[in-house]
């Protein structure tokens, strides 16, 4: 019979490996969604010049980046070290893109490449928050672990 502590926090006595095995499905889901949406947007953007995906203006370059990031998410779901790197990059880069896109919406050539508009800025914020959730889910015990850097980067 599990103790009350284990029911509330199933990885309290476990390790980051258990959290990673359970949370890698978030990476897989993210990868599939990004790969499909980015690939679809990229194909439409190449055919028509630019397109709208889910109400967001998506230039070909931005759709290609999303599709590549989706593929990277699928690959990174295989190893903890790769997942740590990807989720950290996703959280920080998503936040940076959100701040920059909100600050310089009408900036000429950058708008053509990254498609800065209000919906795009919100999408960057959602991607950044998802990256932060991934970091917190996949490495739930990391901050309380006295052997933190090597325990996450072991494999």
Return d(Cα 6, Cα 128) in angstroms, integer. Answer: 30
Task: Give CA angle at 56 (84, 117), nearest 5°.
Answer: 90
**How many whole angstroms separate alpha carbon 81 and alpha carbon 35?**
21
- In angstroms, how far is CA 132 from the centroid of its own chain? 8
Helices (H), the chain: 4-8, 16-48, 60-76, 80-103, 109-114, 118-138, 148-152
Sequence-distant (6+) residues with CB within 8 A of 7 are: none
pLDDT at residue 14 tops 50 = yes
Q: Please tell me which residue, 114 or 5, carries the higher pLDDT value.
A: 114
- pLDDT at residue 4 in the model: 47
In this model, does residue 9 exceed pLDDT 60?
Answer: no
Give every CB contact of residue 73 below 8 A, 6+ residues apart in sequence.
27, 28, 30, 31, 34, 35, 86
Contact between 97 and 114 under an 8 Å Cβ cutoff? The reply is yes
pLDDT digits (tens, 9 = 90+) for 93-135: 989 988 887 777 666 666 666 656 777 778 889 999 999 988 8
Predicted confidence (pLDDT) at residue 8 exceeds the cutoff of 50: no
pLDDT, tens digit, for every residue of 17-75? Answer: 677 777 788 899 999 999 998 898 888 888 887 677 777 777 787 888 889 999 999 99
pLDDT at 28: 93
Tell me the pLDDT band of 13, cut-offs 50, 70 and 90: low
DSSP category for residue 50: S
């Amino acid at each position: 019979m599990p103790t009350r502590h284990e029911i509330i926090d199933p990885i309290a006595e476990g390790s980051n490996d258990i959290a990673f095995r359970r949370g890698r499905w978030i990476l897989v889901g993210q990868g599939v969604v990004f790969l499909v949406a980015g690939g679809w947007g990229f194909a439409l953007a190449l055919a028509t010049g630019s397109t709208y995906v889910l109400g967001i203006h998506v230039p070909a370059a931005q759709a290609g980046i999303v599709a590549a990031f989706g593929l990277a998410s699928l690959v990174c779901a295989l190893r903890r070290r790769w997942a740590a790197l990807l989720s950290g990059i996703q959280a920080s880069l998503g936040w940076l893109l959100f701040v920059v896109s909100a600050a310089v919406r009408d900036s000429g050539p950058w708008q053509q490449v990254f498609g800065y508009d209000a919906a795009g800025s919100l999408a960057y914020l959602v991607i950044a928050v998802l990256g932060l959730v991934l970091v917190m889910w996949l490495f739930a015990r990391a901050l309380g672990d006295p052997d933190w850097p090597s325990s996450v980067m072991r494999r």
